[in-house]
Structure 1
């Protein structure tokens, strides 16, 4: 039993496991929003806005702008395609 002045730290999952957990949380939230009637395009643009806003706050506009420049190629290479159907 822990006393009030004692802390117990759980080991954090490695980066790959954290990404898997985070993706599952986002996909579940996405499904919930769709079930509530949120338009998928609105949901997507809001998620992108939230992600970029957080990254700009952490890394700055210049660094995030440089990262964003490489997104087109990554999208076209299928990096973000979950269901393996490419257009």
Structure 2
């Protein structure tokens, strides 16, 4: 598989994964789960899975960059321009 085809396949998998997670998120909210509780559970699950795959040191290194990425708006869905 060439690099371009692999990149397209990864992008498609990311879109599908986000669609599945968004659907599950919406269902949980509809069932009365508070968004902040759901977010904490999702973060725990994601970090635990990454640790299983890459190990604690690699995940710790990854999380060091999160504050700057959050401040840059990488995870902000609705932006307010002033």
Normalised-by-shorter TM-score class: 0.7 to 0.9
- Gaps of at least 5 residues in structure 1 are 1-11
Which residue of structure 2 lines up, in the alignment, with residue 57 of structure 1? 52
Q: Please report how far the alpha carbon of residue 84 of structure 1 lies from its aligned counterpart in structure 2 after TM superposition.
A: 2.4
Match of 1:74 among 60, 69, 74: 69
Q: 2-side partners of 1:85 and 1:75: how far apart?
A: 15
Q: What are the Cα deviations for residues 23-62 of structure 1, in whole angstroms up to 9, with x where unaligned?
A: 1111110000000000111100000000000000100000
Higher helix share: 2
TM-score by length of 1: 0.80
TM-score by length of 2: 0.85
Match of 1:83 among 68, 73, 78: 78
Count matched residues.
75
Matched position secondary structure for 2:59:
helix
**Structure with bigger gyration radius:** 1
Alignment RMSD: 1.6
- Gaps of at least 5 residues in structure 2 are 1-5
